[in-house]
Amino acid sequence: MEKNLAGACSLYEEFCIVAEKFRESVALVYGDESLTYLQLRARVDVTADILRMHGIDRGQAFALYGRNCPEFLYCYLAAAKIGAVFVSINANVTESEVGYILKHSDARLMFHDEFVAEVANTSALQHLSRPLEELKRSVPAESRFLYEPVDPSDDLLIVYTSGSTGAPKAVVLTHAAQIGAARSIADFWSLNPGDATVVAAPMGFLLGLSTSALVPMLSGVKVVLNKRFHPGEVLEALAKYNATLFHGVPTMYSMMLDYSVQQNRTFDLSSMRVMICSGAPMPDEMVQQFTNRFGKMPQNYFGMTECYPLVGTYATDEEFPPKGAVGRLAPGAKVKFLDNEGRECSPGMVGEMYARASSMLKRYHKAADLTKAALVDGWFRTGDNGYVSLDGFIYITGRLKDLIIRGGANIAPLEVENALLTNAKVQSVAVIGVPDRIYGEVPVAFVVKQRGAVVSSEELIEFSKKQLADFKVPTMILFRDELPLGKTGKIDKNQLKIDWQMEISSCEDLSSVGHGQQPRGA
């Protein structure tokens, strides 16, 4: 008798139900190889056996370090079968970062691919390192592992969030959280067996591993896995496989747009029905440029590793959200906005966002104080500012920590960025707050010009004055060939603050900073 999805206790059980339902359908494509759902289940079971042979047991952590490959999914689901804890590590992290993650997570082993072999085999890491090929061994029949049910509240994943300062936070997620996220997202975006998606986000992070890859797979979706993100390769894959879903961050969409324009190439995305942009809001101007080029409009989505899915557009919605809104609450999600006194805000009033969702962090690993600060009476403090409108749309006005306070007035960097992006000569922009001796803090904009564009900082400041209130206008415009990115593709604003410090250190008259004069290179 077929087991009902609602009865699954572990992520492995959930996957097995899906594999039995879609047996011979293609589950995964990687290069020239494709696997049906039954073949994928067999690979997962062998991986679980190999992990057991390596001494990985219930409650024990192990890691995989490298670029995107099927083994991330094998290990993720094998951990769910064993009751172990999986730690996925992005290929771009440094030796010291890998060392920290392995020690902090108490990982017993770390499998790695050839791309990161040099780092993985350093003296500090080699005692835990094993080549990925060890997961491709055959397993004797007598070594086969029989599944024993796990509790839905058991730890399954430790995800290290990208951070620009200090050690990364280690988010612990359970089987129940991952199952809950999959069911909510399936409803949110109407995932179905006729869909196909291309995954290019790094599987070392939750976006690539779970939201983009495993979540669609649990709805019978064909998952095409790219080893890395390259704009041309992704666009070609979307067209080749008649993809209906794509999930990326703003940088990916920007690079795909630039690639198509610069190479003068067009791509048939007519099969695409849902294009999701997460990680940071996609500026309105970029959305419009992408839509004009490809005939498909990306949709902003808001969620966090600790708490997701939260806000976006339903696949069944006949209209997109109003300008500036992220969307409506996802299935199972709740939010509230609190003012500085802890009082709940009325509709239209900006406050700090607290959220609940189908997937919630269980705790921050080895960080009880951090967990206590983040979880308040079952609500997660997102650290974002925003508001809900009378008609139920959610608006995110910026990160609480990024808020610029100029002479007591609040400035949301996102608003300034969106204003500058309406200038046809601006390709991308990031706004930060910097110290000012009179106002306390003032906005400064880092701008990347459109290819071949000629524009001065004075022009853009004058342009801003027509778009924004006087106190929101950037006091400086600094031009860059590109903006620094963190490991997840988000703009690294902490690095920009360092860059700004370097700029003003070269100025002879520091008293001019914040009052219209430009440092060198502006």
CATH 3.40.50.12780 occupies which residues in the chain? 1-20+35-174
Q: Where are the beta strands (DSSP E) in 345-475?
A: 351-356, 359-360, 363-364, 375-376, 379-388, 394-399, 404-406, 409-411, 426-436, 440-449
Confidence (pTM): 0.82
The residues, ordered by sequence, that sit 6+ positions from 426 with a Cβ below 8 Å of its Cβ are 420, 447, 448, 449, 450, 453, 455, 460
Strand partners, 311: 302, 329
Question: CB of 491 within 8 A of CB of 485?
Answer: yes
Q: Provide the CA 387 distance to its chain's centre, in angstroms.
A: 22
**Residues 224, 90, 231, 310, Cα dihedral to 10°:** 70
Q: Is 443 helix (H, G, I), strand (E, B) or coil?
A: strand
Strand partners, 440: 436
d(Cα 107, Cα 86) in Å, to the nearest integer?
9
Nearest alpha carbon to residue 459 among 417, 414, 425: 425
Query: How high is the pLDDT of residue 517?
Result: 38
Query: How high is the pLDDT of residue 5?
Result: 43
At position 4, the amino acid (one-letter code) is: N
Query: How high is the pLDDT of residue 174?
Result: 97
Q: Top-level CATH class of 1-20+35-174? A: alpha beta
In this structure, the number of other CB atoms found within 10 A of the CB of residue 251 comes to 22
Which helix (DSSP H) or strand (DSSP E) does residue 78 occupy?
Answer: helix 70-82
Backbone angles phi, psi at 258, to 5 degrees: -60, -40
- For the chain, the first-to-last Cα distance in angstroms comes to 70
CATH 3.30.300.30 occupies which residues in the chain? 403-512
Each residue's pLDDT, cut to its tens digit, for the chain (522 residues) gives 233 345 568 999 999 999 999 999 999 999 999 999 999 999 999 999 999 999 999 999 999 999 999 999 999 999 999 999 999 999 988 888 899 999 999 999 999 999 999 999 997 888 999 999 999 887 776 667 778 889 999 999 999 986 544 567 899 999 999 999 999 999 999 999 999 999 999 999 999 999 999 999 999 999 999 999 999 999 999 999 999 999 998 889 988 999 999 999 999 999 999 999 987 778 788 889 999 999 999 999 999 999 999 999 999 998 889 988 999 999 999 999 999 899 999 999 999 999 999 999 999 999 999 999 999 999 999 988 899 999 999 998 877 777 787 876 678 788 899 889 989 999 999 999 998 877 778 999 999 999 889 999 999 999 999 888 788 899 999 999 999 887 667 788 888 988 888 877 766 444 444 433 333 333
For the record, the structure tokens of 111 come out as 């499998």
For the record, the structure tokens of 355 come out as 């959220």
At position 518, the amino acid (one-letter code) is: Q
d(Cα 152, Cα 155) in Å, to the nearest integer?
8
Q: Is 367 helix (H, G, I), strand (E, B) or coil?
A: coil
Backbone angles phi, psi at 512, to 5 degrees: -80, -20
Question: CB of 359 within 8 A of CB of 180?
Answer: yes
Strand partners, 444: 432, 476
Q: Which fold has domain 403-512?
A: GMP Synthetase; Chain A, domain 3 (3.30.300)
The CA-atom distances, in angstroms, between 280 and each of 74, 76, 106, 304, 478 are: 29, 26, 31, 10, 22
For the record, the structure tokens of 468 come out as 């924004």
d(Cα 143, Cα 512) in Å, to the nearest integer?
73
Question: CB of 337 within 8 A of CB of 345?
Answer: yes
For the record, the structure tokens of 143 come out as 């070594």
The CA-atom distances, in angstroms, between 47 and each of 67, 93, 99 are: 18, 25, 24
d(Cα 347, Cα 363) in Å, to the nearest integer?
31
Query: How high is the pLDDT of residue 486?
Result: 76
Query: How high is the pLDDT of residue 6?
Result: 52
Nearest alpha carbon to residue 202 among 91, 280, 95: 91
The residues, ordered by sequence, that sit 6+ positions from 383 with a Cβ below 8 Å of its Cβ are 352, 399, 400, 401
Query: How high is the pLDDT of residue 408?
Result: 63
